[in-house]
Structure 1
Amino acid sequence: MTRYRFFTATTLDGFLADEHDSLDWLLSQPTGEESILPYDDFLAEVGAIVTGRSTYDWVVAHESDVEGAWIYTQPTFLFTHRAPDLERDGVTVVSGPPAGHRAALEEAADGKDVWIVGGGGLAAEFARAGMLDELFVSIAPVTLGAGKPLLGGSFDLELLEHGTNGALLEARYRVVGERV
């Protein structure tokens, strides 16, 4: 069965990125060899990727080996209201509620997990649709005071596991549901 997972990092005060969509705060954090969910192990379980436009633009600008290329090999669904400037292989542009794309996401995942790469508002939309099973978050010992929130909304979570990775506190949660 396909799981929907939000694997991300946040500041201690709950921001994914600063007001300018920068992740400099994260990239400066020391990490170790130990993790409760090593990135490579996590990525091996991912069959499809979901991203919002700000995260997509940041990844294209900062993480691509080839300028402008998309770095993931898994089929990717870009949720946006504005089409990107350039089409990229393996990236499908979609809009609207997540539930409207559930069948396509699960078909693309082919029995593996769907990774909601970011951002927090998009992850919250998936959670409200009952399509977010887990939140795995690395918490950095830094505060920003403002920026893009970790999870846009009010949700109950159940702690499943915790640990450390260098300076980062790691926690894996089951998404119980939206708070009413």
Structure 2
Amino acid sequence: MPRVIYNTATSLDGFIATTDHSLQWLFDVPGAEDAESAFPAFLDGIGALVLGSSTYDWVYREQDLGAHPETWNTYYGDRSTWVFTTRDLPIARPTIQLRRGAVADAWPEIAASAGDRDVWVVGGGDLVGQFADAGLLDEIRVSIAPVTLGAGQPLLPRTLLADRLSLVSAERAGSFAELRFAVAPVADPSRG
């Protein structure tokens, strides 16, 4: 069974995107390239991606996937990708599927598409919260940037207390602090 990993960056005050869902603040941080040096190794262990509609929409616009759909593979490869949405969105690649409904209902298909590798929940925070609520979230990897946004899209808009989170590691990567937490399952997880 694949693990579900939420790997993201956040501002020091706990936001993963601005109020208008932009991530540009992240790319403007000096030393961001150093923080991304371990990313290819992480991505090698990923068999499927899961995104919320706002995250996917931002990536679609910023990478101009309508005109250059091949750009998707440059960053994410040909992995199965699941976009949870309540609206119609353009599909950049045949490996991208739009889904409505509960993540627990889609979990058997997502897990099967990951094969013997893990599932990366790219964002957003509410989607990750749905995985946590369903007992499907195994790990949180968060890179904390030396930036405050004051407002925006929260890192994880759920209550996860210390009985569910345990610190695995804390490291420095450029100007970022990288933290890894194991997430304990809830009683009776619906892993299918």
Q: TM-score when scaled to structure 2?
A: 0.85
Map 1:31-70 onto structure 2 (within 5 A). 31=31, 38-63=38-63, 67=67, 69=69, 70=72
Aligned to 1:25: 25
Identity %: 41
Contact 1:60/1:67, CA 8 A, preserved across alignment: no
Q: What is the aligned-residue RMSD (CA, Å)?
A: 2.1
> What is the TM-score normalised by the length of structure 1?
0.91
* Structure 2 counterparts to residues 163-174 of structure 1, below 5 A: 163-174=171-182
What amino acid is the match of 1:99?
A
Matched, 1:152 2:157: yes
Q: Residue deviations 1:6-31, cap 9 Å, x none?
A: 00000000000001111121101123
Task: Tell me how far apart the structure 2 counterparts of residues 74 and 35 of structure 1 sit (CA, whole Å).
Answer: 23
In the TM superposition, what whole-angstrom CA distance separates every residue of 1:132-167 from its partner, at most 9, and x where no partner exists?
A: 100000000111110000001101321100101111
Tell me, yes or no, if the aligned pair for 2:66 and 2:92 is still in contact at 8 Å.
no
Distance 1:109 1:31 in 2: 31
Give the unaligned 5+ runs of structure 1: none
2:7 alignment partner, SS class: strand
1:9 maps to 9
List runs of 5+ in structure 2 lacking aligned partners.
187-192
Counterpart amino acid of residue 149 in structure 2: L
What count of residue pairs does the alignment treat as equivalent? 178
Distance 2:35 2:145 in 1: 14
Q: State whether residues 8 and 118 of structure 1, in contact with CA within 8 Å, keep that contact through their aligned partners in structure 2.
A: yes
Contact conserved, 2:138 with 2:185, CA < 8 A, in 1? Answer: no
Shift of 1:41: 0.7
Contact 2:84-2:99 within 8 A present in 1 as well: yes
What is the aligned counterpart of 1:97 among 87, 102, 120? Answer: 102
- Name which of structure 1's ranges 118-127 and 37-46 shifts more when overlaid on structure 2: 37-46
SS of alignment partner, residue 117 of structure 1: strand
Q: Counterpart amino acid of 1:145?
A: G
| Distance 1:86-1:32 versus aligned 2 partners, 3 A rule | closer
Q: Give the structure with the larger strand fraction.
A: 1
Distance 2:97 2:86 in 1: 13
Provide the C-alpha distance between the structure 1 equivalents of 2:109 and 2:122, rounded to a whole number of angstroms.
17
